[in-house]
Amino acid sequence: MEDRSHRNSSRSTPEPFWQRLPSITFYPVRGAALYALIALTLCTLLGLLPGIGWILAIVVWVGVYRYAFEILRETANGRLAAPENTLYSSDGTVIRLLAMMILMGIFVVVVAAFLGPIIGLAALAAVVFLQPGCVISLAMDGSLRAALNPATPITLAVRIGWPYLAVFLLLFVIQASALTAGKWLHAVMPPIIGDLVLTFFSIWGLFATFHLLGYMVYQYHDVLGFEPEGAPQPLSRNAPDQVLLDEAEHFVRDGHPEAAMDALRVAVRSRAVGLPVHELYHRLLRRKGVSDALREHGRQYITRLLAEKEERQAMQVLRELLETDPDFAPADPEQASTLAERARLSGQLQLQLDAQLAMLKAWPRAPLAPQWAVQAALLLAERYSRDDEARALLEDALGRCEDPEQRRKLEAAQRALSPHLA
């Protein structure tokens, strides 16, 4: 069952949340989320009405949390666009969310009142740490009882591991940053405008927080036992692929991975198979360890992924192969350059560096080799402070380069890294 569920969600592996932080931060000011953010901010002005203003304010903030919770659920289900037309649709979960937050607050107050402020502060810290897990639990099954059970968020945190702590800290950073920006602008603006600005940034932080929680559920849905409704579906399988996958999974379940690999190897080498077959074969080869078969299939798998426009998954496969085999390079320099450039553009600089170093070993006289050497050398020196390796890399590239223009670039980089040569 584990292999099947993994395969069903692996057509496009979710990008790690730490690589999407800019997108997560600015999620509330894009698409439908921006319109909801502006509308809800303006609606808070209803709280100024005499008599019924406090009632309208409560209604508006219920709407804020309702939309935030819809953001979490939509994101957890793999739908990364902001939800539309959901302000007035709910299955009652948002009421349970508010009830959960109120009960948590009451718990902290009661503990502080009966056991003293120090114990109360410890209770507050525990509640704040467990709250993301409680919200995630409520989003996945809608059960308030399960969400309030401390064992539930603790279990979720253990399953997710260190990323849970990272997300916990990021929630503080996002909300503190939004609140700080709002307060700073509030202090320099007229009263009502300042209040609106403060509210705008507070809701921004809330929406970004719930989007981050939802994305963590989407990224770790396998270990959480959650099946995203809108996750990308695997490529359609023809009958031979399905029979082959079932046979291979049967061998794996019975403790015969070698037999599964033999069956998959024959199919991969003899006919065109779908990505699920490649994915399973690749995973079994990785478990076995570094081998010629892993390198050979890795090149084939990356070629197929790029042909299917699955560049993100191809980068993930490249990263996995480089971790076990630092000299691994894709099938040809064009593919390698494409993935190294995508890694650079997405901020995955370690992957870019590892790929370019392997590319220089595989194709030292390729037309683009001097460019790879310059980029890799600058990364080595500026980001990782490995100046000696950077200079050696440039010196080696200069020894092979015959193009005058490329030589000038290499020499310029060499001078930048060796001031005494300037």
**pLDDT the model gives residue 2:** 38
Poorest-pLDDT segment among 54-63, 219-228, 407-416: 219-228
Q: Given a cut of 60, is residue 199 above it in pLDDT? A: yes
**pLDDT the model gives residue 50:** 86
> For the chain, how many residues are written?
422
Tokens of 347: 């901020």
**pLDDT the model gives residue 290:** 62
Q: Given a cut of 50, is residue 4 above it in pLDDT? A: no
- The CA distance from 55 to 30, in Å, is 30
Average pLDDT for 393-404: 86
- Tell me the chain's radius of gyration from C-alpha atoms: 27
pTM (2 d.p.): 0.51
**pLDDT the model gives residue 410:** 84
| Phi then psi dihedrals of residue 404, to 5 deg | -60, -45
The closest of 250, 244, 249 to 265, measured between CA atoms, is 244
- The CA distance from 97 to 99, in Å, is 5
- The CA distance from 195 to 186, in Å, is 6
Q: Given a cut of 60, is residue 9 above it in pLDDT? A: no
% helix, strand, coil for the chain, step of 5: 80, 0, 20
Q: Given a cut of 90, is residue 165 above it in pLDDT? A: no
pLDDT, tens digit, 9 for 90 and up, residues 292-333: 888 999 999 999 899 888 888 898 899 989 988 899 999 899
> Cα–chain-centroid distance for residue 75?
12
Average pLDDT for 57-65: 88
pLDDT, tens digit, 9 for 90 and up, residues 36-50: 899 999 999 988 888
- The CA distance from 222 to 357, in Å, is 33
pLDDT, tens digit, 9 for 90 and up, residues 252-271: 888 888 888 888 888 888 88
Q: Given a cut of 80, is residue 185 above it in pLDDT? A: no
> Cα–chain-centroid distance for residue 113?
41
- The CA distance from 415 to 413, in Å, is 5
Q: Given a cut of 80, is residue 179 above it in pLDDT? A: no
**pLDDT the model gives residue 357:** 93
**pLDDT the model gives residue 247:** 86
Average pLDDT for 103-126: 88
**pLDDT the model gives residue 417:** 78
Angle between helices 151-160 and 117-141 (to 10 degrees): 70
Tokens of 210: 């719930």
Per the CB < 8 A criterion, the answer to whether 12 and 310 are in contact is: yes
- The CA distance from 238 to 246, in Å, is 13
Per the CB < 8 A criterion, the answer to whether 335 and 355 are in contact is: no
pLDDT tier at 140, thresholds 50, 70, 90: confident
**pLDDT the model gives residue 239:** 53
**pLDDT the model gives residue 235:** 38
Per the CB < 8 A criterion, the answer to whether 244 and 267 are in contact is: yes
Q: Given a cut of 60, is residue 125 above it in pLDDT? A: yes
DSSP 3-state of 234 = coil
Q: Given a cut of 90, is residue 91 above it in pLDDT? A: no
Per the CB < 8 A criterion, the answer to whether 348 and 314 are in contact is: no
Pick 84 or 359 by higher pLDDT.
Answer: 359
**pLDDT the model gives residue 412:** 87
